[in-house]
Amino acid sequence: MTTADTHDLLTQALQYYTQGEIAAHCGKTARTIRRWETDRNCPLIAEAALRELVDAKTRKVAAKGEAAFRFIDLFAGIGGIRRGFEAQGGRCVFTSEWNDFSKKTYMDNYGNGDDDHQFVGDIVPFTSEAVPSHDVLLAGFPCQPFSIAGVSKKNSLGRPHGFECTTQGTLFYDVARIIDTKRPAAFLLENVKNLLSHDKGETFRTILGVLRDFKYDVHYKVIDGQHFTPQHRERIVIVGFREKTDFTFDCLRLPTQGPRLETILHKTDGSEPVLEHDGDRFFDHSSGKVQSKYTLTPKLWTYLQAYADKHKAAGNGFGFGLVTPDSVTRTLSARYYKDGSEILLSQGKGKRPRRLTPRECARLMGFPDDFVIPVSDTQAYRQFGNSVVVPVMEEVARIMIPHVRALVQAHDDSQQRLPLYVQ
């Protein structure tokens, strides 16, 4: 056994454990583990403790079967992107989401029983080195303005520059630093379509520049969710690979004719499924009707009509979006809980329209009916309005993962690894 051998053991352990977990097991500090990893000088005395960790993990993996790949879920929301990659056989090993209500929904649907999974709140103070090794990084990061003012001054003062300077203070910076440190085989970033034009395109150029400076092969495409669900929802998807691949978005299978709204509405003909976790919260099964609280009050309906008439007279396009079962809706927004104005379902001539229920919003985003909604209607509307169209993520994952597997296999084949002995 040499120090190179123990470093290989450390590398294997870091595939499954954080530096803090390894430090606790070895009786050291996380800083020491970080130094061992950076200097490639892991002492022989650590061999027994490291092998114990690796062997323990190997036994657990053998018992439940190893995932096809490992991924992390940043700015996770309620896990819409995660669902797409789990469908391809991946295992989530790390999640970050700061909003407590979203965390509640996430945990109720995905749980925390997996012993190699860690959930943290704010990713900003979390060190990149402490993020577990992974094959794919997923992030639906919020778009914030990037300011490059003061770069020259920072340079003159000898302060950090490059991506640290151009993106510091933004949440993209936290995505970038983790990619730079952990070097996953691939990443997927999702954002609003307007990211392309924000700040006259400077924001997007900065993002692409940073990712390409990291030597990743980067591709991007705006995809409309209406291919899969009855909602016009354009989002930009950015994917990157650690090495050059023949990946292309041309491989996407996008149905030319998507579904209509009737496919996600509660059924009033007696066929609406009874969901134990919903009960009669959204739909009264005894009467076969949507709960009356989702119908707009006379006051709100009068206000919205007057508001629309005012802007129409002024030549503006602002107003409510009245839809029927044959419609494709506008984009569901996080403000839907306020008045529901962008998607109001007609209930017939002379009748006040209604909002979609949170369960219908879940379906509109492509979540299956077994997805639990444990929060209030207000929070549920916010969460689905901020989420992704799940089938879009599933389709992007489908064309990404063969390339991810090839990169992971090529990397594994190039490494001189010790065999994992199972006691």
Q: Is the pLDDT score of 388 beyond 60?
A: yes
Residue 235 has pLDDT above 50, yes or no: yes
Residue 2: its pLDDT value, please? Answer: 64
pTM score: 0.78
- For residue range 121-178, list pLDDT tens digits in order: 989 889 999 999 999 999 998 765 554 333 333 344 444 445 555 555 578 889 999 9
pLDDT of residue 352: 95
pLDDT beyond 80 at 417: no
What are the tokens at 299?
């006051």
pLDDT tens figures, 36-48: 888 777 887 777 7
Mind listing the pLDDT tens digit for each residue in 183-194?
999 999 999 998
Cβ atoms within 10 Å of 30's Cβ, excluding its own: 17
Could you tell me if 369 and 273 are in contact, meaning their C-beta atoms sit under 8 angstroms apart?
A: yes
Q: Kindly report, residue by residue over 56-112, the tens digit of the pLDDT.
A: 654 454 445 567 899 999 999 999 999 999 999 999 999 999 999 999 999 999 985
| 338: helix, strand or coil | helix
| Structure tokens given for 144 | 């914030």
Q: Is 281 exposed, middle or buried, given 0-12, 13-18 or 19+ CB atoms closer than 10 A? A: middle
Burial string for 263-277 (b: 16+ CB within 10 Å, else e) reads ebbbeeeeebeebee
Q: With contact defined as beta carbons under 8 Å apart, do 148 and 206 qualify?
A: yes
- Please state, in angstroms and rounded to a whole number, the distance separating the CA atoms of residues 395 and 88: 10
**275-314 pLDDT tens trace:** 999 999 999 999 999 999 999 999 999 999 888 887 776 6
Q: Helices H, strands E: what count in the chain?
A: 15, 11
User: pLDDT value at position 399?
Assistant: 96
Distances (CA, A) of 141 to 64, 156, 172, 192, 236: 32, 31, 7, 10, 12
Q: How far apart are CA 230 and CA 365, in angstroms?
A: 9
Task: With beta carbons less than 8 A apart as the criterion, state whether 102 and 78 touch.
Answer: yes
For residue 226, how far is the Cα from the chain centroid? 19
Question: Looking at residue 421, what is its pLDDT?
Answer: 30
What residues act catalytically?
Answer: 143
pLDDT tens-digit readout, 7-38? 777 877 776 677 777 888 888 888 888 888 88
